[in-house]
Amino acid sequence: MKGSTRQRFGSAGEGSTVSCHRVNYEVEAKIDGKYGKKTILKDISGVFRPGMNAILGPTGSGKTSLLDILAARKEPKGISGSVLIDGKSLPKNFKLVSGYVVQDDVVMGTLTVRENLAFSAALRLPDTLSKEERESRVDDVVKELGLGQCADTKVGTEFIRGVSGGERKRTNIGMELIIKPSVLFLDEPTTGLDASTANAVMHLLARLSRRGRSIIFSIHQPRYKIYRLFDTLHLLSLGETVYHGPVCEALEYFSSIGFVCQPHNNPPDFFLYVINEESSAVNLALDDTKEDVVIQRTSYAKPLAEEYFKSRHSTLLQDEARQILKGIPTKEESKIQEQIITYPCSFPKQLSHVSRRAVLNIIRNPFLTVAGTVIVIILSAIIGGIYFQLDNSIEFGIQNRIGAFFFLIMQQIFSNMSAVELFIQERVIFVHESASGFYRVSTYFFAKCVCDLLPLRTIPTIFYCTISYWMIGLRPEAGPFFFYTLNLLLTTYTATAMAFVVSSSVSMAAIGTLVIAICYVLMMVFSGLLVNINSLPVWLRWLQYLSIFRYSQNALAINELSGMEFCSKNADPLNVTCTDGNVYLERQGIDYSTWGLWQNEVALFSMTLGFLFLAYIQLRRIPKLK
């Protein structure tokens, strides 16, 4: 109802019943060299009550697609039919009030198990709960999932040793259980786990289902110890239902249509063999004398899907579905009952928690903080040593200063290519958390930008400027020094913001690095140092206005050379030739007036804002649904 934040479905202690009615799903695909419609799911119906509901089938049967449609995590394009919860239409943003555990673990590895759970609690629980109540909820989940011994252990990354695979999977489940969802969806929950760990995870889910939750999951080929935990089984073959009903009746049903499972064989293996037997490609690769199944079908037997739709189980399901559909409210009633589900936390609170996690992630990654700053200090010392205390001679003074500026700018721009990994590394986490209603896209973007630009870009650049400026021996005045620092900071921000655009547009770091490197090289060509801009054809000159190098190089040249005198190294004091830095600036077509100086900084600042805006737009365009 309007004004509510998040609504639990089902009464206290009871799960919800999720039902789908004649669901079809088609996608655009290339078939026999031509683009057309490919059917992924065909006329799927099912009722999933509180308990363990398994969606089982071979690879490519449509298990994950069906699970995503039930969980409202599929784009509506190509989907027909209806999905109901407790006999009512799914509310808008149903994905925000249900739990969904993806196949690949999506937790922040630099945080502890408890910190990950606390992050979920802080953002997904209503503001009306006190801090003590949130902490109590986290403690309850830790106890419920048996995570007490590893609660204060970091989950782990490629550089940090962390918890085991089973504990990591339970942490993922715990982040969803924080909101006490009446329906919990899981995509292949045993993927990547050994037999013992997979068995422990599935027993945990079974215990949760016995407490009233509806657990709906896709699974490929479970062991018998796991299979016997299931309550309801939905078997798929090439996108069609071949069985939906109680697990205890599945073998009897298949026996009734001519497939008998031999004693002591694993039923899921038997089901998959029977399903694959319909495929001629698989059938040719299999031995018809396989000992775990006895085939008692005639040559004119009907396909499995057709057999099912004429079976008693299908009739019972259709009767139940009709009863459920009778309770669907009219369009007018739906508008009255329509639930407006919003974020439980305000923007400032979301920003606070997401920023705090980002800062912890940086602090606990020593390479990003200490190593990065040390490398910058070393590079600035090297550059300062190469151009140590430049003289004011006509022969070398101007040339060496311009060369030093180009070297400084190039190092600052290319050293920030690492920013291209910012959104790529956390892409999976961002997609899952934003889809599950942890935070707004704007919150995540703003927090990542601030926490990346300030500690990882600003502080090292200040060290870089302070060391290089005085070692090179540029103008010993406060004004030029602070302008020099401001210019290199803006250069850093612009290069980083441009990397953000690429990072939010591609999903592979290798491609992102290649794209940003090509852009930087092209900008370098139009800096005005490698080629005089005035010598270029008119139709190419406009590219100079897209070059970070040009604006930064011009600003540093004006700041240092304007009004500065350079004299020849002639031993005869009566025959000394001098020139003004303004002559060089005029020759290069650089406006060295006050406006000419600051227009470069305005351009860099505008480019930074423009790139950040594009990065935000690209981040919003990342599909949050499959």
Give the pLDDT of residue 2: 35
Tokens of 468: 């290089």
* CA distances (Å), origin 608, targets 487, 493, 496, 612: 13, 6, 8, 6
Taking the C-alpha atoms of 174, 180, 184 and 189 in order, what is their torsion angle to the nearest 10 degrees?
A: 10
Decide: helix, strand or coil at residue 112: strand
Q: Find, among 71, 69, 171, the residue nearest to 115 by Cα.
A: 171
Residue with tokens 């011994």, as numbered in its chain: 149
**Apex 305 CA angle, 41 and 33, nearest 5:** 45
118 pairs with which residues across the strands? none
Tokens of 477: 């005045």
Residue with tokens 């029977």, as numbered in its chain: 274
Give the pLDDT of residue 280: 42
How many C-beta atoms surround the C-beta of residue 619 within 10 A?
Answer: 22
User: Which letter does DSSP use for residue 568 in this model?
Assistant: -
Cα separation, 50 vs 183, in Å, equals 8
* Paired sense of beta strands 99-101 and 293-295, if any: unpaired
Cα separation, 528 vs 518, in Å, equals 18
The H or E element that residue 175 is part of is: helix 165-177
Tokens of 535: 């010598």
Backbone φ and ψ of 434, nearest 5°: -70, -35
Decide: helix, strand or coil at residue 228: coil
89 pairs with which residues across the strands? 84
**Apex 543 CA angle, 542 and 544, nearest 5:** 90
Q: Find, among 346, 430, 8, the residue nearest to 177 by Cα.
A: 8
CB contact set of 228 (below 8 Å; sequence gap of 6+) = 247
Length of the chain: 626
Cα separation, 94 vs 586, in Å, equals 65
pLDDT by 10-residue block (mean), the chain, 626 residues:
39 70 86 78 92 91 91 88 87 81 87 94 88 91 90 86 88 90 90 86 90 90 91 92 93 89 87 75 44 52 82 90 74 45 82 92 80 86 91 85 92 89 89 89 92 85 94 92 96 95 92 92 85 78 87 93 82 71 85 90 96 95 80
Q: Residue 499 CA to chain centroid, in angstroms?
A: 17
Q: Which amino acid is at 11?
A: S
Q: Which amino acid is at 626?
A: K
Q: Which amino acid is at 608?
A: T
Give the pLDDT of residue 302: 63
Quickly count helices (H) and strands (E) in the chain.
26, 14
* Paired sense of beta strands 88-89 and 79-85, if any: antiparallel
Decide: helix, strand or coil at residue 328: coil
* CA distances (Å), origin 449, targets 120, 487, 493, 616: 21, 19, 10, 10
* Paired sense of beta strands 51-56 and 232-237, if any: parallel
Stated pTM of the model: 0.85
How many C-beta atoms surround the C-beta of residue 195 within 10 A?
Answer: 11
Give the pLDDT of residue 563: 83
Backbone φ and ψ of 572, nearest 5°: -85, 110
Crossing angle of helices 113-124 and 131-144, rounded to 10°: 130
Are 52 and 215 a contacting pair, CB within 8 Å?
A: yes
| Terminal CA-CA length for the chain | 28
Give the pLDDT of residue 425: 87
